[in-house]
Structure formats: structure tokens, C-alpha cells
């Protein structure tokens, strides 16, 4: 970890400042800290996926079977120095994923998911085959989200919207009926 006066601590591999997202400092068995992105890249290109060699001292860190590098211990001292709370970043295939949870239970919003692509799958082609002509890229097709009515009513913002629409509809109907009955009463008297 490179740390100078007035500088934020940074990853010694990519030189990016540590943060609580994709540059979360993770500690290897040798006590050196690196960002989770660099360790994820390292784990994807290492032939023995259960063993990481420290980029500085080459001491191995053995991962349990199926344990991703995101489960390595977080360097909480660095995050405390930066006044940040750790987020849970996960490694899914060749992507780092971070789910941003809402902070308040009264103003809930749908959690945002941030992903960082770590590169192509091994053995996949990165470009078109040489004998094929130019290809066109199609726009991504939006995936429709299917929510049941029960799931919609769990969202407080939707409930507030539904209540406001019900009040507006009720007031509008009340005004229409009052105008109708007032005309009926005035025309019937006169």
C-alpha cells in the first residue's frame, strides 16, 4: 500500500485510490493489501485458481474451494482512515457486482446494481472471425420487469402515488356529482 503525506492510500498494482466499491482493499495472507479489482483480475488469469501469489512478495494465499477473492478479509484500517463503510462486492463469473442498498426504510428505492466487466471468458474470441465481413451491433433489448401487484404495494413510493391518485379521483368525482346535483336542484326549483 503506497501512502504518502496528504495522499490517499492506493493499490500498489493499479495505483487507484482505495474506496469501498471496486477498489476495496483486500488483505492477503502476507498482510499486503490490494484492491479487489486487481485481485479478481489476478485470480482469473492464475492457472491454479485456488492459489494467489502476492504481486509484491510472491507469498501464496490459498483460497478455500470455491471461495472467490471477494471473500478475502477487507482491510478495515484503510477504510476507517478513509471514513468509508465497506460494501459487499461479489465476483460472478468475469464480473464484479455491487448492490447499492437503500439507506432509509421510509424512502425506499430499488437497489442499484453496479457491475465491472473483468474481460472476456478464456478461449472466447475478442473480435469477429477473419473470414467474416463487418458486423453490426444491435442495441440491447430492455428486459421487462414483471412485478405483481403485491410487490408494487410493498414499495412505499408506489403506495404514496396510489393514495394520491385515489384522493385526486375521489375529489374529482365528488366535484362532478356536486355540480350535477346543484344543477338538478337549481333547475328543479326554478
Q: 43: exposed, middle or buried (C-beta count within 10 Å: 0-12, 13-18, 19+)?
A: buried
Q: Which residues, listed in sequence order, are joined to residue 17 by a DSSP beta bridge?
A: 10
- The per-residue pLDDT for range 58-92, each reduced to its tens digit, is 999 998 887 888 889 999 899 888 888 877 787 87
Q: To which residue does cell 337549481 refer?
A: 186
- The per-residue pLDDT for range 104-162, each reduced to its tens digit, is 555 556 667 777 878 765 555 544 444 444 444 444 444 444 455 666 667 777 788 88
Q: Strand, helix or coil at 43? A: helix
Termini Cα distance of the chain: 92
pTM, 2 dp:
0.56
Q: Would you give the DSSP letter of residue 111?
A: P
Q: What is the pLDDT of residue 67?
A: 83
Q: What is the pLDDT of residue 162?
A: 86
Q: Where are the beta strands (DSSP E) in the chain?
A: 25-27, 33-35, 51-53, 60-62, 89-92, 95-100, 112-117
Q: What kind and span of H or E run contains 34?
A: strand 33-35
Amino acid at each position: 500500500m503506497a501512502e504518502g503525506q496528504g495522499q490517499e492510500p492506493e493499490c500498489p498494482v493499479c495505483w487507484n485510490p482505495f474506496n469501498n466499491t471496486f477498489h476495496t482493499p483486500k488483505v492477503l495472507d502476507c498482510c499486503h493489501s490490494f484492491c479487489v479489482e486487481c485481485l479478481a483480475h489476478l485470480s482469473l488469469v492464475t492457472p491454479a485458481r485456488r492459489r494467489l501469489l502476492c504481486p509484491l512478495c510472491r507469498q501464496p494465499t490459498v483460497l478455500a474451494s470455491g471461495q472467490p477473492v471477494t471473500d478475502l478479509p477487507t482491510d478495515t484500517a484503510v477504510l476507517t482512515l478513509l471514513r468509508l463503510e465497506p460494501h459487499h462486492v461479489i465476483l460472478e463469473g468475469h464480473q464484479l457486482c455491487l448492490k447499492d442498498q437503500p439507506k432509509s426504510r421510509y424512502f425506499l428505492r430499488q437497489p442499484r446494481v453496479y457491475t465491472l466487466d473483468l474481460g472476456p471468458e478464456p478461449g472466447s474470441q475478442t473480435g469477429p472471425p477473419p473470414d467474416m465481413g463487418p458486423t453490426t451491433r444491435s442495441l440491447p433489448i430492455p428486459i421487462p420487469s414483471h412485478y405483481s401487484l403485491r410487490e408494487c404495494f410493498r414499495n412505499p413510493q408506489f403506495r404514496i402515488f396510489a393514495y394520491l391518485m385515489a384522493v385526486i379521483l375521489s375529489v374529482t368525482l365528488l366535484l362532478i356529482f356536486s355540480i350535477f346535483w346543484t344543477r338538478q336542484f337549481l333547475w328543479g326549483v326554478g
